[in-house]
Amino acid sequence: MKQSRTFKAALLGSGKFLATLTGLICAAILARLLTKSDYASYRQTLLAYTFVSPLLMLGLPTGLFYFLARDRKHGRSILSGNLLLLFLMGIVFFIAIWSGLNELLAARFNNPALKDLLLIYSPYALLALPAVSISACLVSYNRVKSLTFYNVLSKIIIFGSVVGFALIWRTPEAVITGTVAAAVLIFIPALILMYRATPEWNWRPTWLSVKDQIIYSVPLGMAGMVGILAMNLDKVLVSSLCPPEEFAVYVNGAIELPVIAIITSSVIAILIPEFSLMYQQGEFSKIISLWHRAMVKCALLIFPIMVYLLIMAPEAIRVLFSARYEASAIPFRIYLLLLPIRITHFGSIFMAAGKNSWILFRTAVTLILNLILSIILIRQMGYVGAALATVIIIYLWSIPFNLIAISKLCEVSLIRIMPYGVLLKLIVITGIPGLLCLVVKSYLLPAGDISRLAITGIIYAAVTLALMIRTGLINRSIFKTALARVSAWRDKQ
């Protein structure tokens, strides 16, 4: 059972990683093919849907896990009800856009081009929303290989369609058309795979099943909506208060690195069941101990990434998005300051304790505080203020709330909640090679960004690894074990 959970967590994490990576590569290509204003229009169109998608989904894809686990025999009927509700919410989005929401958003974002782009984009939700349920459906019926194949295939289709349309016509209208076309292409195999996975029973949804899914899933959807609002608030405010060209610069810097999500989410997905069992048994010290070990392991990867990219941010941005977006390095660096808290998921302790309402409260207050401070700082400093406001509120409100709440839940002092000493030691160790790379890139290297990234990357990785081994943060036996396994595999071949 444990291996199965681990595999499923890794599978879902890899899907998220692949989706984020594909999106990042698409953004890098489109930033070169489109003008700044056209690129901003494309990103604002997607932002409009991203902002409302949690409300449209109503938590239904997540709720499907619960209902299929309870009644596997009638899974096809449950699935039909789920997809029907999601399709109806897609119709709501479609009608809202054609009823004037497009004009409202175009005026709010100070971008007239958005009006027609949203009309082109309006059918997207009809197909994209139902397709989201495929993960819950296939994982519930142990069709993990099919899900892996679908994830890879769908990302290739999306990438090929979006970039293909952009290469031929190089307009935001073409890119949005390619996005909608990709949704059509991936919806059909998603539907086939979902219905093949469910038992051959009556496929017609029942009113009772539909009602139960609504009652169970809507609270999840509301919590997800607040989370998405908090995550994308800065982008919405920059769109509303700044010119489209400045939004284009900002949105390329305000990105989350794909590797961070897969590291933390995969580890926490495995630990949450263990946390829940330990909490029920009152083993709070074991929870904290296990949590510490997980944080340190994640930090061994995340801290070096943060330090290196803080130093090499201009080069990384120019390589990804071209020199036109060099100013994106400023919000990029500001957002990198959030990586120290990405070594864990504080909500995992709340979920283990059955305190999901605390997560909603924390997120809602974060949203309100961030809204107020962002508006103030954007008016004073421009789009940079949005990034600063996000970081300030998270460190001054969210983190203290998390630490105090976990201290009470686990009956432990604030000093013992996190492995502060090890984390501080790791910051120093990763900072030393960072200073070395700063000197190397400033005085010893040619002007080429790719060569700078390659040479400093090799130097930084080698020195950091050596220091971690020397200080005992990484055990030498890990490498011996890995070599032994490789040798054993070669002998079997």
pLDDT digits (tens, 9 = 90+) for 391-441: 999 999 999 999 999 999 999 999 888 999 999 999 999 999 999 998 888
Within-domain flag for 360: no
Within-domain flag for 393: no
Within-domain flag for 292: no
Determine the pLDDT at residue 4: 47
What is each CA distance from 380 to 78, 151, 332, 374, 450, in whole angstroms? 52, 43, 19, 10, 35
Q: Is the pLDDT of residue 373 over 80?
A: yes
Residue where a domain stops, chosen among 215, 236, 257: 236
Determine the pLDDT at residue 489: 53
> 2-26 pLDDT, tens per residue?
444 445 555 556 666 677 778 889 9
Determine contact, residues 232/255, Cβ cutoff 8 Å. Answer: no
Q: Which residues contact 273 (CB under 8 A, 6 or more apart)?
A: 5
Q: How many domains does the chain have?
A: 2
Within-domain flag for 338: no
Please list, residue by residue across 354-378, b when 16 or more beta carbons sit within 10 angstroms of its beta carbon and e when fewer do: ebeebbbebbbebbebbbebbbebb
Determine the pLDDT at residue 1: 42
Determine the pLDDT at residue 298: 87
Please list, residue by residue across 204-226, b when 16 or more beta carbons sit within 10 angstroms of its beta carbon and e when fewer do: ebeeebbebbbebbeebbbbbbb
Determine the pLDDT at residue 2: 44
Maximum mean pLDDT: which of 61-70, 217-226, 345-354, 434-443? 434-443
Determine the pLDDT at residue 255: 81
* Region of residue 26 (phi > 0: left; psi between -120 and 50: alpha; otherwise: beta): alpha
> 228-286 pLDDT, tens per residue?
777 788 998 999 899 999 999 999 998 877 677 667 766 666 676 678 778 888 889 99
Q: Is the pTM of this model over 0.85?
A: no
> 83-126 pLDDT, tens per residue?
999 999 999 999 999 999 999 999 988 899 999 999 999 999 99
Residue where a domain stops, chosen among 236, 257, 291: 236
Amino acid at 240: S
Determine contact, residues 254/235, Cβ cutoff 8 Å. Answer: yes
DSSP H or E segment with residue 359: helix 356-381
Q: Which domain holds residue 215?
A: 1-236
Within-domain flag for 219: yes
Q: Is the pLDDT of residue 75 over 80?
A: yes
Determine the pLDDT at residue 3: 45
Residue where a domain stops, chosen among 236, 265, 286: 236
Within-domain flag for 188: yes
Determine the pLDDT at residue 119: 97
Percent of the chain with pLDDT over 90: 49
Q: Tokens 């929870």 sit at which residue?
A: 287
**Rg (the chain; Cα; Å):** 24
Within-domain flag for 405: no
- The overall average pLDDT reported for the chain is 86
Long-range CB contacts for residues 144-148, cutoff 8 Å, separation at least 24: 144/7, 144/8, 144/11, 146/193, 146/197, 147/11, 147/15, 147/193, 148/11, 148/14, 148/15
Within-domain flag for 232: yes
